[in-house]
Structure 1
Amino acid sequence: MPPRLRKLIGTILIIILVLLYALIATTVAAATLGSSPWWIHLAYFLFTGILWVLPAMLIIKWMEKPGKSGGK
């Protein structure tokens, strides 16, 4: 796959990942953390705010693979 196409696909995947992840994390928080103390909210959003980086790193790593010609 040409590097430009891989980067386009990866960029679209990251945008979709961020949108879906934010929607799911917010929905879970609204459904489960309603009466929790403030520090539970803080811990949850710190954790979920960092967790999305892991799948994004995998997508970026895939995007940066060299093409079949050996160059980027």
Structure 2
Amino acid sequence: MILLVTIVIVWALFFMALAQGRIKDAARMWQLIYYVVAGMGWVLPAMVVIRWMEKKPDDAE
């Protein structure tokens, strides 16, 4: 759970800093695309972590 929260926080801070530096001057369409990708992009790494958390140990039967 700590890893999942860490991923979300780091993801948000990184893309927020990137948006403040480069995206604010872009055209509206590029801003929309950026925010959709940045807003939904954390789901893929989170799915990997969630699958790992749900995985049963090899010795469990």
Equivalent residue number for residue 27 of structure 1: 17
Percentage identity across aligned positions? 33
Asked whether 1:69 is paired with 2:60, we answer yes
CA offset digits 1:14-63 (Å, max 9, x no partner)? 10000010000010111111211222111101011111111101100100
Gaps of 5+ in 1: 1-10
Asked whether 1:52 is paired with 2:42, we answer yes
Q: Comparing 31-40 with 41-50, which one deviates more in the overlay?
A: 31-40
TM-score, normalised via structure 1 length: 0.75
Give the total of aligned pairs.
60
TM-score, normalised via structure 2 length: 0.87
RMSD: 1.1
Gaps of 5+ in 2: none
Cα distance in 1 for partners of 2:10, 2:22 equals: 18
SS in 2 for 1:59: helix
Cα distance in 2 for partners of 1:33, 1:69 equals: 49
SS in 1 for 2:24: coil
